[in-house]
Each structure stands twice: as C-alpha cells, then as structure tokens.
Structure 1
Amino acid sequence: MKALRRFTVRAHLPDRLSALERLSTNLRWSWDEPTQELFATIDSALWEQLGRDPVALLGGVSPRRLDELAVDDGFLARLDALADALDTYLTQPMWYQEQREAQPSWPTGIAYFSMEFGVAEVLPNYSGGLGILAGDHLKSASDLGLPLIAVGLYYRSGYFRQSLTADGWQHEDYPSLDPQGLPLRLLTDSAGDPVLVSLDMPDDARLNAQVWIAQVGRIPLLLLDSDIPDNDHDMRSVTDRLYGGDQEHRIRQELLAGIGGVRAIRAFTAVEGLPEPQVFHMNEGHAGFLGVERIRELVTDGGLEFDTALTVVRSSTVFTTHTPVPAGIDRFPVEMVERYLGSSRLLPGVPLERILGFGAEDDPTKFNMAHMGLRLAQRANGVSLLHGQVSRGMFNDLWKGFDQDEVPIGSITNGVHAPTWAAPQWVQLARELVGEDLGSLSEADTWQRLQQVDPGHLWWIRSQLRDLLVADVRRRLRRSWLERGAAEAELGWIANAFDPGVLTVGFARRVPTYKRLTLMLRDPDRLEKLLLDDERPVQLIVAGKSHPADDGGKALIQQIVRFADRPAVRHRIAFLPDYDMSMARLLYWGCDVWLNNPLRPLEACGTSGMKSALNGGLNLSIRDGWWDEWYDGENGWEIPTADGLADEARRDDLEATALYDLLEKSVTTSFYERDENGVPQRWVEMVRHTLQVLGPKVLASRMVRDYTEKYYAPAAQSLHRTIEEVDGVPFGAAIELAAYCERARRSWPRVEITDVDSYGLPDTPLLGSELTLTATVQLDELGPDEVVVEAVVGRVDASDVLLDPVTVRMAHAGSPDGIELFTATIPLPVAGPVGYTVRVLPHHRLLAADSELGLVALA
C-alpha cells in the first residue's frame, strides 16, 4: 500500500545532546569537517545510508544509541567543543566588521536574490552552476561576516533526479521533498503562526507563500513556499519545480521571487529585529521584479514621486548577468506582463507603462527581464573579464551612441568556496603549512609555501584522491546499470572498471548545446584509441543533466551513453547519471584533468574548472570564461579555438582534432613520464604551479570581497547621498537627481555640437605634438556644469573609426551670445593615421558614471 502523504518526525534528543539540534540545522556543518565527523560517529553506516544528512540521521538513529551517547564523556566533550565553536563563528567579528569600523558607510544590510541556491546535497534547490555559485556566495559571505540576507524559492520537488533508460535516454523523476525533514525552520510571528507573503493575481486570485529559513552559517536564506492550504490548486503548484512548467508558471515564480521576496525580507527583519537591507543584489534577471516592488513601497508608503523612488532604488541595486547569449534571458510576452501587472492591485502607484519600459527591447511584443534588471540597477557586472566584454556587446543597444567598451557593465570573476570543495587531504596540508587559521589562504604569498612540499607527497595526495573517485565511480556505475535493467550476474566487469593508476579526465556540467558534450565523440575511433592505449591510457568520466524539455540535449547524452556502453570501452569511459554536489565533489577531488570545450565565448565563467584547480587538477579547456584570463601556459592546456569560423561542423572538427592532439602528445606524455620513484615530476610541478597561482584567485572569499568593495559599498554610499535631505526636504537629493534626469532627457534632442575648431599642430605633426580643440555647444535647458564635453583622439582605421581612443575632458571657456565654448589641448597619443571627435554627456554628482543615462551627443 502507498501512503497518502509523507512527513518527517524528528527524534526527541536527550537534554545533554540538545546541541546536536543546532549543529544539524545550521548548514555550516556542510563545510565543517569536524562537525560531519561528529555526526558520522553517531552511526557511521546510517550516516552514509542517509546521504550524510544530519537531520535525517537524528530522525533515524535509535533512541538507545542516543541514550548511550548522552553518557559518553568523549562524545560529549567533542559535542560541547563544536557547539562552542559554532557560537564563536556566529558572533565573533569577521573581516567585514573589521573593515566597517574604518568605513562606516559600508552597508548595514545586503539582500541577495537568486532563483536557485546550491548549499548542500540535503537541500536540492539548484540545477547547476548558477545555484552552486549562489550557495558559495552565501558561505563565503558568512565566513567574511557580511550582513547578508538571501532570498529564493523553496521547490517541493527540487530540480529533478536523473536516471537512464535501457537505451540511454534521460529519465526525470521528481521526488517530493518534505521541508520538515530538512534543515529548515518556518518563519512565524509572535503568536507562533506562519508568516504569509501575499500577491494579488489576475481574476481576483491570490498567491500566498510561507517562508522557510535555511541558516547558512551567519546568513539566513529565505525560501518562499506556495504549497500551502491557503492557496487554490493552481497557486499551490507555483513553487513545485525549479525551471519547470510553461511561461505562465515561470512568470508567477518570478513575481513571487521578486515582489514576494522583498515582502518576505520586510517580514523577516521585523520578526527578527534586524536592520533593513540597504543594498539589493539581483543574481540574474529572474528576481527583477524586486525593483518595482521597492518603487511601490517608496511611492505608496513613503509618499515619493515615481521618478524619485526609481532614483533611490537604482542607487542601491546591483545586477549580475550570467548569460552570454540572448537565448539565455527570460523574455515574456508583453500581453502576459500586462495581465499580471495591469491592474493596480499588485503594484499600486506603479504605472504599467513604466514597468513595460523597464523590460522593453527591439521586439515590442517581448518583455526582457535582463533589460529590466539593467534599467533598475545603477551597477551591473558579468562574471569573468571575457563575459563582461561579451555582456557589454550584448547589451550595447541600451547605450546607443557609446562604444562597446564604454557600456557600464563591469566584471567580477566568480569564485568557489574552498572549505566546501577542497579535499580533506589538501585542507590538512594547508594546516600543516599555515596553522589552524586558514584565513591567510586569501593571500597569494601563503600559497607559495607549497614550494616546501616534496613532489612525492603532492603525488601521493593526488593518487589517494583518484583512488576515492574510482571507488565512487564503480558504485555509481553498478547502481545505474541495475536501474537500467541489467542483472547482477552480468556486472562482474564493474569490479575492475576504471583504474586508480590511469590518467583520469572529467567532464561534468549542464547539457545545453553550446557546452558541446559530444565534441569528444567527433572521431570515435581516435577517442577509443586514446582510451585503450597500452602504454598511456586515458579514462573519461562524464556527467550532466539536460533540461527536461530539451530533447536535443537528451540526444547528446544518449550518444555518450551508447558509446560508453560498448564492451570494448566501458571500463574506460562512463556517463554517471544524477550529477549533484556529492558526485561533483569527488570528481573535482579525483580527476587529473578537467575538460571544458564550449563554443567560445558562450561560457560566462565555468566554475567547475576552478574547483578542479583548487584540488590540483589541470584544466584542458577552450579559452573561455575564467580560463581565458587565468590560463598561463603552465597550469593546464589551451584547446586552440576556431573562433569566427562560419562552418560550425568544420569548427567542431578542428577543435576536436586539437583536443585529441593535446591528449595524445602533451597531456598523457606528462602524466606517464615517471622518475625512479614513480613520480611524474613534470606533472607534479604543474600541479604545484596550479595551486600556487590559481589557489588564491579562484576563492569565493576573493569574489565576495570584490563585490563588497566594488559594488556593495559604492551602492550603499550612493544610497546615502541620494536620500540626503536638501534644504530640509527629505529625499531632497533624490528629488534633485530625478528632476535633473528628466530635464536631461527632455533637453537631449536639442543638445548639439555646432562647431569644432582645431589649431596648434605643426605642418608635420609628431608623436606628442599638441592639438588644441575648441567646441561650440548648444545645451538647451542644461548648464555647462551639468554636462561633460570630451575630446576623443586616437588612431583611425580605413573607415575613420577611432580605435582605442584617448578621452580628454574639455574645460568650459565661456558663454558668448548664449552658446557654450569648451576647449582642451591634447598631446597626440599615437603615431600613424589619427583622428578626433567631440562628444557631450550628461553629468551629475549622483550618477555612477556619465554614461549611466545612455545619452550622448556626437559632433
């Protein structure tokens, strides 16, 4: 018989073991090895059987065992020490508190919104890299002491569990997750009743959500859950699955995440007595509606005019884009947005036409969530240097008249949370080199201490980790083949599948087309030859999920599976289903080489290769994402790219051939060349170099510090300046800026450079010769102090397009007869064909950059 409903009953802990409850429900245990070891001590077999889940363990362990532990002095001493360590971690001043003492303008609160969070396997609220990145952001923010509150949705079925059919086709399963059996607590009011967030929907419907709280170290993660009796059936299913359903389902999720997320923060901070966040960070455009909800608050509750409210919201909002392709952006039919936001019930005081303007794009029938994110944020960034460049090109049309490099989208390269992803063996080595306090690992000099470590010891660690991986691969292979219908009697070969002594290559990620899962199969005979080489064999582990609606991606998986099923190679190549954090961790630990072969430049960052590098893995990758900026010729191998080749099939052929050549002639050669002690000296030195050079760079602590210093702190400072009183008027500065922006936009069609004179150059100009320019400018309603006039000088191509120009601000030289004169003298910066122009941009002290409004007048 099948139960109607399942739920989790937690064990009653003896008083002396009550600290286990706190340790199990704060997800810091997921990156604190001593706490994990304590839970394993309770019942090691059950710990492994339940997926290393402390909450499940405490629900499944026998009362008799708990009674034994309650009088076990050794266990109690460890428990007390770990409980004290958690309390210290949660309360002691960290990096942020130390920095804020000297810089009190840093924000007292930061809100971080993401559609998914990969914090731990036990909370499967993620699908791939975006969620894992968000989880690592929270953990590092906790380690650094940031006053951050995170917001997302609680998906009752997570993403999906992946298995394979007998013919290798991906099958999805959506297990129902019981929040009561997870490390979550419900947000309740003073009477103990659940706090509900409510949104008005079309046709007088209402969407209600309760709020679960996952405590990620010092960071509360608020997860909104619509599966409650207060909702009709349609609304209960809004948070059923991550990235599931149609566009109707998706827009409801994004309205709940953005608008409901802001309301959840307001409720949470009121209940907990915490300061309201000053800075709001959108991790991708999914939560873009948070901006219009904040405008509504300021209009309806604060009494501000719409444009003043928009000015305040923009000053304190950060937007991070993760996609390098327009197809990766959520775009809704305008009619759908009108239906959900057209009445005044959901967002009173926020005109529909202004909302539609935020999401406007070239196609008037589409509403673009990334465009809305960019228009509602004063600061924006991509997630690697190359991705920042790609993003400036992709969104250049929002700043017409500006060169791509001037588009105000910066970059902060992603990072990974070392305590989560570094193998215990590396952590132990770090303690031996620098002591128990590993905070110094953020300093590049600390990593140079690896120079002291004997090559044999480094090789021993790498070999140990490969052993662990091979054992895990064999377990997963057996489970997968049994699920696909194989009999136990025909799986004897798995006992010797994969070899702890063979060069191991990993390829694991989501399976969209651009990541090219099957590039390795371009020449199957050559791949087979590499796998089965008598002297220098290769073994290949592949994993990844295709979106349930992407049959093309599923077909790619099937191609890999069918190749790997062949008896000739199945001991050397495997596709492992249900890629998740637990599988990923061992892959990053144990793979010698991490393979990544996307279509450049379509990989925004690619943090999987960072996690491998953190464990001494060498990257073999197309120069894309983070690898483009940090590859140095000694920390792995660059797969040459046939960028720009119109024939996609030929491009794949060329890049696959380059991949095979590198494996055959460089990678395997270095791995199998051994000294008299069996140590591959050249390989180990590349491992050492990788750790020394990439170790401090790939850390999420570096990333979060970068966000704090370059985005969060400036956003808080902008907010403080924007909400200042002027002449006793609250929000006077915001009112002033809003009025200036409106006046600048109104005047701009009539802002004109009517004349440019040049003089001072000799007949034969030389490098460094001085060029004097004088521009005559009509400014309509604007004053000369409300614009910037710039001379732009540089080398020109055959079409007179300026290349890498130098920009010099021109000085105001007077206002004869109602016109404005500006002048500048410039030493010629380059030799060869040189050209110049003059341009005008709006300028105000409260703008983050003169390009912010997207207005420019050219001579």
Structure 2
Amino acid sequence: MKALRRFTVRAHLPERLAALEQLSTNLRWSWDTPTQRLFETIDPALWAQCRQDPVALLGAVSPARLDELALDGEFLNRLDELAAELDDYLNRPLWYQHQQSDGVAMPNGIAYFSMEFGVAEVLPNYSGGLGILAGDHLKSASDLGLPLIAVGLYYRSGYFRQSLTADGWQHETYPALDPQGLPLRLLTDGTGAPALVELALPESARLRARIWIAQVGRVPLLLLDSDIPENEHEVRGVTDRLYGGDQEHRMRQEILAGIGGVRAIRAYTAIEGLPAPEVFHMNEGHAGFLGAERIRELVDAGLDFDTALTVVRSSTVFTTHTPVPAGIDRFPVEMVQRYFANTAADPDYAPEAALLPGVPLARILALGAEDDPEKFNMAHMGLRLAQRANGVSLLHGEVSRAMFNDLWAGFDADEVPIGSITNGVHARTWAAPQWLELGRELLGSDSFSDPGVWLRVNDVDPGHLWWIRAQLRALLVDDVRARLHRSWLVRGAPEAELGWIATAFDPNVLTIGFARRVPTYKRLTLMLRDPDRLQRLLLDEDRPIQLIVAGKSHPADDGGKALIQQVVQFADRPEVRHRIAFLPDYDMSMARLLYWGCDVWLNNPLRPLEACGTSGMKSALNGGLNLSIRDGWWDEWFDGENGWAIPSASGVANEERRDDLEAAALYDLLEKSVAPKFYERDEHGTPRRWIEMVRHTLQTLGPKVLASRMVRDYTERYYLPAAQSLRSTVSVDGDGQVDFGPARELADYRRRAFEAWPHIDITDVDSTGLPDTPVLGSKLTLTATVQLAGLRPDEVTVQAVVGRVDTGDALLDPVTVDMPYTGTAAGGDHIFATTTPLPVAGSVGYTVRVLPHHPMLASEAELGLVTLA
C-alpha cells in the first residue's frame, strides 16, 4: 500500500554527537573532504546508499550505531576536531576582514540573486552552468569572508531527473523534495512562527512564501517556497519546478524571486540583527524586479521615483550570461501591465492590492522597454537598474557590448559600459582528493590561490603526475560502467545481455569528455558529422580513444532531445558501445568524476555563443587538457601549450559547410596531435610530452580559473565601487540620520540632461595649426562652439576624437582628447578647445562630441547621451 503523505523526521542525536547536526546542515561539508570522511565512517554502505548526504545518513542510521559512536573515543576526537575547525572557519578573519583592517571601506553586505544555485547534489536547485557558477560564487565568497546573503527559490521538484527510453529518447521525472529532509532550516520569528513574505497578485490574489535557509559556510542562501498552507491552491505551485511552466508561471517566479527576495532579505536581516546589504548583485535578469521593489521601499520612505532610481542604480550590479538576444527573458507587455497596474494613478487604487504601491506603471514599463513595443525585456531592465554591468569572459563582454549597443546609441560598441569578469570554479569542490593531497604533501598548500603553489608543480616527478591521472581515469571507468549498467536496465535490457559492460571502456585508453546542457549552439552531435571516421578513431588498434557524453535537454526542446537520441543510437552500436557512451542524468556527482578522470575536455560551440563555459576550467584544475573552439574563457587563456584550439569557421555563411570544416578539424586534431602525444611513452611508460602539457596547464590555468579570483575581482571592481557610489549618493551622519541630498542632486542632473540633450548642438568646429604636409606627431588645434541648452560647461565633457578612417570615413580605434572650456562666444554659445599631436599616420580624421559629465556617474557613457558634430 502507498502512504497518504510522506515527510522526513530528523534523527535525535546523543548529546555527545550533537556537533554532527551543524556539520551536516552547514554545506561546507560538500567541499571539505575530512568532514565527508567522518560521515562515511558512521556507516560506509549507508553513506553510499544515501548518495553521500549527511542529513539523509543521520536519518537512516540506527540508534544503536549512534550510541556506539557516542562511546568511540577515536570518532569523538575527530568529531571535536572538525567541529572546532568549522567554528574557526566561520569566525576567524579572512581576506575580506583583512581588507577592512587595512582601511578599505568594504561594503557592509552584498545581496546576490540567482534563479538557480548548484551548491551540492543533495540540493538540486540547478540545471546547468549558471547554477553551478552561482554555487561556486557562494562557496568562494564564504572562503574569502564576504558578508554575502544569497537569494533564490526553493523548487519542490528541483530540475528534472533524466533517463532514456529504449530508442534513446530523453524521459523526464520530477521527484518531490521534502525540505525537512535536506540541509535546510526554516526562518522563524521571535515566536517561532515561520517568517513569510507576501505579494499582491492580479484579481486580489495573494502570494506568500516561507524562507528556507541553506547555510553555505558563512553565506546564508535564502530560498523562497510557495508550497505552503497559507497560499490558495492555484499559487502554491509557483515554486514547483526550475524553468517549468508557461510564461505566466515564469513571470510569477521572477516576481517572487526579485520582489519577494528583497522582502526575504529584509525579514532575515531584521530577525538575525544584521545590517542591510549595501550592494545588490543580479546574476542574470531573472530577478530584475528586485530593483523595482527597492525603488518602492524608497518611494514609501518619501523619495520621488527618480531619486529612488538613482540610489538603486548606484548600488546595483548586473551580470549577463547571455550571448544572444533569444536567450533573454521577454514577457508580453500586457502581462506586465496586469501584474503592476494597480498604482496610485489608477481610479480604483488600493495600496493593499498593489504589487508595488506608489510606483508608476509607466516607469516600470520603461525599464523593460525594447524595440518591440509589445515586449518587456528583463535584460534591458537589469541594465537600466544597474550602474555597473558585466559579461562573464573577455569575449563575452565584447559580445554583450555589441548586443546591447542600441541602449547606448551614438556610441561605438567598445564604449558601451559593460565590462567583464571571467568566471571561475571553486577548487575544493571540483579538484580530486589526489590533487588536494599533492598540494598538502608536495607543494605545501591546498589553498590553490597562491600562484607560487602552482609553480612548484615543476618539482613533481612526471611519473607521479601520470600516476595521479591514471588513478583518476580508473575511478571514472568504474563509475561509467556502473552508470551504463543502470541505464541499460532502465531502458529495458535484460541482465543476461549486459555482460559486455564489465569490460566496457578501458582505464588505459585516452578518455575524452563532453558534458553540458544540450541547446543547439553547443553542437552535441558535431562529433558524429563523419560517423565512419569517428568509429575509426574509437577503434584504432594502436591509439584508440573513448568518449563519454552527457547532458540534459530542456523538457520542451524536442530538437535537443533528438540530438541526444542521435548520440545514444550511435553509442548503442555493438561495435563501438565499449568506446562511447551517453550517460543519463548528468548532475554534480557525475560531473565531478568526469572532470577528475577525462584526459581531454571537448567543447565545440558555435563561436561566439559560449558566454564562458566553466566545465573546461574544472577539467584543467585536474590536469585535463582542453580541446575547444576558441570561445568563452578558452579564447582568453589558450596559449598553444595548455591544450588545443579547434579552428573556427564562424565566417562561413553556409551552416552545413561550417560544421563540416570544424568537424574535420576536430578529427584531424584527435588523430594527428592529441592521440600521438598521449600514447608516446618513455622507458617508464610515461607520456612525457603529454605530462609537460598537463604541468603547463596546471601552472598557467590553475591560478586563473579559480572562483576565489573571480569573487575578488567582483569585490574590487564592482562591489566596492558600488558601495562607494551608494555612499556618495546617500550620506549618513554620526547620529544615523540619512541624507538623500546627493541622490536628489544627481537625479536632478539626470533629468536636466535628458531634457537638454535634444537641443545641444555643436554649431562650429575649427581646426588650425597643421602644416601643409602633416607628419606623425604634428600638432592639431581644434576649437568647438557648442550650444548647451541650459547646462553649464562643467556639466558636459567635450572631446576631440581622432584616428584612422576607413573608406566610409568611419573612425577606427580612435583616440579621445578632452577639450577644456575656454569661454563664451557672442550669442552665449560656449567655446571648447584643445591642441593634440596626431596619434597615427595614414588616412586620418577627427570629429567632436559632447557627453554628460557628473562626478557621481560611473562613466560618461552611462546615460547613453552623446551629441556628435
């Protein structure tokens, strides 16, 4: 018979084992190997059965075993040591605190919003790279001591579990997750009642959410849950699945994540007695409504909309992960109107029924406006609400500046104020224990953050490095066989037909991994472009390769599922099935062994559609070599010796021809470069040229691919400047009195600049000083006469722009030179002039432009206003 209801009861621990509670519920255990080993010693078989989940283990272990451990001196000593280490980790000064001690005015707090978080496989709130990146961000923020609070949604079914049908088609299931059985605690008020956030929905509906807290080291991750008794049935399912449902469903999720997320932070900080975060970081545009909620708070405190927007912008950071417009969330304007319509401008206005009372609907719609008047663009809203924005690799920053150039019309793409911080990965989550041990025993540290540690890889014997790589490959092969066996059984194969799996794959064969989500641009099936040639590579008698493929297609993407089916059906062929496999249900536990054990990590996206692609970083951290199209991070850090670059044919217009060319290049590299290096051995059986590439990869990429480097970059280049901007717009005196005067002054300047700009005119440009035959370095004097339409000369910047010109007179890589104000002409126009040496030879041209200028703007391009001569 089936249970009517299923729920989890936590184990009652003997008092002497009470420390196991904190060790199991603080997710630091997920990247702390000694803590994992402690839990494993409780019951090794049960630990494996519980999928290495400490909370599940403590719920399943027998009381008799717990009583036994409470009298085990060796276990208790280790428990006390690890509990003390965790306490020390949570309380000692770390990098962030040392910066504060050195006098740097660091932010009092940072709020980090993301729709998914991949912290550990026991908390499946992630679908792919965006969530894993967010999880690594939290872990590294914790390791560095950042006062960061993360916010997301708690999905009752997480992302789907993937299996394969007999014919290789992806099948999805959504197992229900009980938060009581996960490393979570409920946020409660002083009376012990659950803290709730509440939002108004159309037609007088209310959406309420409880707040679960996942403690990620020092960082609390607040997860909002709508599946609670306080909600009506029709809204309980808002947080049912990650990326599930229609646009209406997604709108509700994003409203809850953004608006509800800010309210959750307010509840959490009030209950815990913490300062309010100064900086708000949007990891993609999904939670963009958080800025609208912060504006509502300030309007409610008495500010006008423009002043509130100025305060919010100054302290907001927006990170885009999207390299194509099609990847951006866009909602029908009608839908946004329906959710935000009840404002003070409406005749039937009722504050209690308004989602954002006091915030004009027209201003909300303007934040998300785009070329299509019927669409509301979440990325555009994110950019308009944030004074600072970035892409996630150098190349992606360049792509983003071009993609969003229209928001800064009149500026060249390279002037668009979107920077870049290249993603990173959390070393202690993704590095194999063998590498951690090597760091401790041979290199003096397992911190990974010191570049000097990586240089000492030179002192390690090549045979030892090869031994580690061989160990990890053997572990992977064992895991692949086990997963293959389970998958074939699920697909309906009888046990009697699966004997071949026991010898499938070979721990001594060159092993290549390809695992990621399956959108079209990642080109899962490029490897199958010439099936016969791929088969020859797999079965080569002297230099065989074996290929492990994994990935999930979005449940609604039948095209992606068809790509998976093609790979599965090829891998099912009896002649190659021992050399190539598609492993279903790709998750963190599978990924970890793939990164450890694969010799080569394959990535062949359509350039430049891979924003970053951190899976190759995790492989590099384990001595894997990348074989990739130069896209994302690989374009930035490939140096010719740390792997291979697949030549891109992105300039070829015909897609079929492009794929043929790139597939042929891939096969050639495998056959003529990759395999020969792997199988060329010295007298000790060590592939020395291969190991030199491994050594070089560890030395050159090791310090760069770290999430600790990434989070320090965010702190120094975005969080700290954002906090400084906030403090320049909002001042607080010694008595705690808040003065919004600077914000009002900047908002007034913005208003006056936007009003004046259509009327600003450069009426004359005069050049003097050049000889008849100018040479490089000759002095050019430019004088511009400008009508400022009521703005003062110190409220604009006038620049001369000088550079080479092409056949269409477009300036190429121009040099800008400020033109100081020199006086007023007859009629009241203003004169600006400069003398500058010619910076280049050849066909040279110049122009003059006017830009806004204010000390509290992050850049002169920020407002998107420019007048050209």
TM-score range, shorter chain: over 0.9
Please give the residue correspondences for 1:64-463 in structure 2 after superposition, counting only pairs within 5 Å.
Answer: 64-300=64-300, 302-344=301-343, 345-435=354-444, 437-439=445-447, 441-463=448-470
Question: Matched residues in 2 for 1:211 and 1:127: separation?
Answer: 21
Question: Which of 846, 853, 860 is the aligned partner of 1:850?
Answer: 860
SS at 2:548's partner residue? Answer: strand
Question: Which of 833, 838, 859 is the aligned partner of 1:828?
Answer: 838
Q: Map Cα deviations across residues 274-311 of structure 1 (whole Å, 9 max, x no partner).
A: 110000000000000000000000001x2111100000
Please give the residue correspondences for 1:20-99 in structure 2 after superposition, counting only pairs within 5 Å.
Answer: 20-99=20-99
SS at 1:545's partner residue? Answer: coil
Question: Matched residues in 2 for 1:224 and 1:9: separation?
Answer: 22
Q: Map Cα deviations across residues 248-280 of structure 1 (whole Å, 9 max, x no partner).
A: 000000000000000000000000001100000
Question: Matched residues in 2 for 1:104 and 1:199: separation?
Answer: 38
User: Is 1:595 the counterpart of 2:602 in the alignment?
Assistant: yes
User: Is 1:646 the counterpart of 2:653 in the alignment?
Assistant: yes
User: Is 1:809 the counterpart of 2:808 in the alignment?
Assistant: no
Question: Matched residues in 2 for 1:142 and 1:569: separation?
Answer: 45
Question: Matched residues in 2 for 1:729 and 1:259: separation?
Answer: 24
Question: Matched residues in 2 for 1:416 and 1:754: separation?
Answer: 54
SS at 1:837's partner residue? Answer: strand
**Alpha-carbon contact 2:94-2:144 (below 8 Å) kept:** yes
Partner letter of residue 350 of structure 1?
A: V
Give the C-alpha shift of residue 725 in structure 1.
7.1
**Alpha-carbon contact 2:510-2:678 (below 8 Å) kept:** yes
Quote the residue 1:500 is aligned against. Answer: 507
Question: Matched residues in 1 for 2:202 and 2:4: separation?
Answer: 32
SS at 1:693's partner residue? Answer: helix
Quote the residue 2:534 is aligned against. Answer: 527
Identify unmatched segments of 5+ residues in structure 2: 344-353
Question: Matched residues in 1 for 2:770 and 2:59: separation?
Answer: 84
Question: Matched residues in 2 for 1:725 and 1:769: separation?
Answer: 51
Give the C-alpha shift of residue 781 in structure 1.
1.2
SS at 2:524's partner residue? Answer: coil
SS at 1:245's partner residue? Answer: coil
Quote the residue 1:606 is aligned against. Answer: 613
User: Is 1:797 the counterpart of 2:796 in the alignment?
Assistant: no
Partner letter of residue 142 of structure 2?
A: S
Question: Which of 531, 547, 550 is the aligned partner of 1:540?
Answer: 547
Quote the residue 2:703 is aligned against. Answer: 696
Question: Matched residues in 2 for 1:650 and 1:444: separation?
Answer: 43
Give the C-alpha shift of residue 826 in structure 1.
1.1
**Alpha-carbon contact 2:730-2:738 (below 8 Å) kept:** no
**Alpha-carbon contact 2:780-2:838 (below 8 Å) kept:** yes
Question: Matched residues in 2 for 1:397 and 1:405: separation?
Answer: 12
SS at 1:460's partner residue? Answer: helix
Runs of 4+ aligned structure 1 residues displaced above 6 Å come to: none
SS at 2:474's partner residue? Answer: helix
SS at 1:650's partner residue? Answer: helix
**Alpha-carbon contact 2:762-2:787 (below 8 Å) kept:** yes
Question: Matched residues in 1 for 2:158 and 2:476: separation?
Answer: 26
Name whichever of 442-451 and 360-369 sits farther off. 442-451
Quote the residue 1:839 is aligned against. Answer: 849
SS at 2:594's partner residue? Answer: helix
Give the C-alpha shift of residue 104 in structure 1.
4.3
SS at 2:255's partner residue? Answer: helix
SS at 2:507's partner residue? Answer: coil
**Alpha-carbon contact 1:331-1:368 (below 8 Å) kept:** yes
SS at 1:541's partner residue? Answer: strand
Change (3 A) 1:336 1:729: same
User: Is 1:627 the counterpart of 2:634 in the alignment?
Assistant: yes
User: Is 1:659 the counterpart of 2:647 in the alignment?
Assistant: no
User: Is 1:586 the counterpart of 2:593 in the alignment?
Assistant: yes
Change (3 A) 1:708 1:43: same
Question: Matched residues in 1 for 2:24 and 2:242: separation?
Answer: 25
Identical columns (%): 79
Question: Which of 731, 735, 741 is the aligned partner of 2:750?
Answer: 741
Question: Matched residues in 2 for 1:277 and 1:316: separation?
Answer: 10
Question: Matched residues in 1 for 2:487 and 2:165: separation?
Answer: 9
Question: Matched residues in 2 for 1:523 and 1:160: separation?
Answer: 32
**Alpha-carbon contact 1:725-1:733 (below 8 Å) kept:** no
Question: Matched residues in 2 for 1:823 and 1:442: separation?
Answer: 49
Partner letter of residue 519 of structure 1?
A: L
Question: Which of 685, 695, 719 is the aligned partner of 2:692?
Answer: 685
**Alpha-carbon contact 1:32-1:419 (below 8 Å) kept:** yes
Change (3 A) 1:729 1:233: closer
**Alpha-carbon contact 2:548-2:580 (below 8 Å) kept:** yes
**Alpha-carbon contact 2:285-2:379 (below 8 Å) kept:** yes
Give the C-alpha shift of residue 4 in structure 1.
2.0
Question: Matched residues in 2 for 1:391 and 1:857: separation?
Answer: 23
**Alpha-carbon contact 2:437-2:446 (below 8 Å) kept:** no
Question: Matched residues in 2 for 1:541 and 1:730: separation?
Answer: 60
What CA RMSD, in Å, does the superposition of the two structures yield over aligned residues? Answer: 0.9
Question: Matched residues in 1 for 2:442 and 2:306: separation?
Answer: 56
Change (3 A) 1:285 1:385: same
Change (3 A) 1:146 1:578: same
Name whichever of 215-224 and 96-105 sits farther off. 96-105
Quote the residue 1:751 is aligned against. Answer: 760
**Alpha-carbon contact 2:443-2:457 (below 8 Å) kept:** no
Question: Matched residues in 2 for 1:46 and 1:433: separation?
Answer: 34
Give the C-alpha shift of residue 229 in structure 1.
0.8
Partner letter of residue 336 of structure 2?
A: V
Give the C-alpha shift of residue 562 in structure 1.
0.2
Question: Matched residues in 2 for 1:192 and 1:668: separation?
Answer: 63
**Alpha-carbon contact 2:126-2:132 (below 8 Å) kept:** yes
Partner letter of residue 759 of structure 1?
A: T
Give the C-alpha shift of residue 105 in structure 1.
2.2
Partner letter of residue 110 of structure 1?
A: I
Partner letter of residue 605 of structure 2?
A: P
Question: Matched residues in 1 for 2:327 and 2:41: separation?
Answer: 45
Question: Which of 522, 529, 534 is the aligned partner of 1:515?
Answer: 522
SS at 1:498's partner residue? Answer: coil
Give the C-alpha shift of residue 729 in structure 1.
8.6
Q: Map Cα deviations across residues 52-76 of structure 1 (whole Å, 9 max, x no partner).
A: 0000000000111001000000000
Question: Matched residues in 1 for 2:563 and 2:18: separation?
Answer: 50
Question: Matched residues in 2 for 1:304 and 1:17: separation?
Answer: 53
Q: TM-score, normalised by structure 2?
A: 0.98
Question: Matched residues in 2 for 1:143 and 1:502: separation?
Answer: 37
Name whichever of 804-813 and 426-435 sits farther off. 426-435
Identify unmatched segments of 5+ residues in structure 1: none
SS at 2:845's partner residue? Answer: strand
Partner letter of residue 479 of structure 1?
A: R
Question: Matched residues in 1 for 2:214 and 2:729: separation?
Answer: 34
Q: Map Cα deviations across residues 512-531 of structure 1 (whole Å, 9 max, x no partner).
A: 00000000000000000000
SS at 1:190's partner residue? Answer: coil
